[in-house]
Structure 1
Amino acid sequence: MPQPTTRTRPTGHPGYSETLPRRPESAATARHLLRTACAVWGLDDLAEDGALIVSELVANAVQHARRESIRVVIDRPEAGRVRVGVVDFSKMPPVRKAPGPDDEGGRGLALVTELAEDWGTDPLPWGKRVWPELQGKDEG
């Protein structure tokens, strides 16, 4: 199994990233990477929502991307904020759907919208990055 890449970011916090096969099983590895980052940063309150979000984004990439790999990037742009990025080789932006009550899929981006503080898509020359951000609870 490939080792995740860790490098220091301008904020001084390490970031975590890993290239994964474009398969459904990669969601488990992405969840582990996210939970590890949250634990190291003391942001355990973001781990469960982040795990749900990264699972949905990996599932979308598995379904819609073109190449055999995806990249998961977990950053900490600010002290209480985590940014999850899933990069794939499809230039098609994600589309939020309004599934019916009997539909089995189509709820992923609604979940991301509900759980994330913000999210968006960055076009890349070879594909795109979908990036939700989670905000930790204020410490009082």
Structure 2
Amino acid sequence: MTAASVGPPRYQERYAAKLEAAQHARRDIALALESWGLPHLVEVAEQIVTELVANAVEHTDAATVGISITRSGEEAVRIVVTDTSRTRPTLGEPSSDDENGRGLLLVDALAHDWGSELVHGGKRVWVELRGDGEK
């Protein structure tokens, strides 16, 4: 008798809410995508997870930040970043002189879709990526 698959491939991890969390999340997301045969999504996924984890570390008082990536289709994945803040992210409107405030604009430009939702104990920010060339 062999074990049956109980859902789509998924990877999840929690990191201490420190600056190096984004680096660790990038590495883990890239490894998951490579193992699923989706290396063409790595660069975009790394950029997105860097922005979302950095936002959670810099703009919340969370002790930990969670990430997960789930394969949601042959050429699609869903990335989720969680933290304990109840403040949902919003797109900024930085001026040309501002040095910050463009992270979610980048996420919005790169992702097929994204959003956030309040959950028990905080919030989750989710991003859908597709490798079929569709935004």
Please, what TM-score do these two structures have when normalized by structure 1? 0.88
2:61 & 2:104 partners in 1: Cα distance? 20
Question: Structure 1: any 5+ residue segments left out of the alignment?
Answer: 1-7
Q: Is the Cα contact below 8 Å between 1:45 and 1:137 reproduced in 2?
A: no
2:30 & 2:6 partners in 1: Cα distance? 19
Residue 9 of structure 1, CA deviation = 5.3
Residue 137 of structure 1, CA deviation = 2.6
Displacement over 6 Å in runs of 4+: none
SS at match of 2:55: helix
SS at match of 1:99: coil
Residue 95 of structure 1, CA deviation = 1.1
Match of 2:73 in 1: 78
State yes or no: 1:10 paired with 2:21: no
Deviations 1:67-123 (A, max 9, x none): 211101111111211111100000100011110111111001100010000001121
Match of 2:63 in 1: 68
Q: Is the Cα contact below 8 Å between 2:56 and 2:62 reproduced in 1?
A: no
Query: Alpha carbon RMSD of aligned pairs, Å?
Result: 1.3
| Matched residue count | 129
Question: Structure 2: any 5+ residue segments left out of the alignment?
Answer: none
SS at match of 1:119: strand
1:9 & 1:112 partners in 2: Cα distance? 30
Match of 2:53 in 1: 58
Please, what TM-score do these two structures have when normalized by structure 2? 0.91
2:62 & 2:30 partners in 1: Cα distance? 26
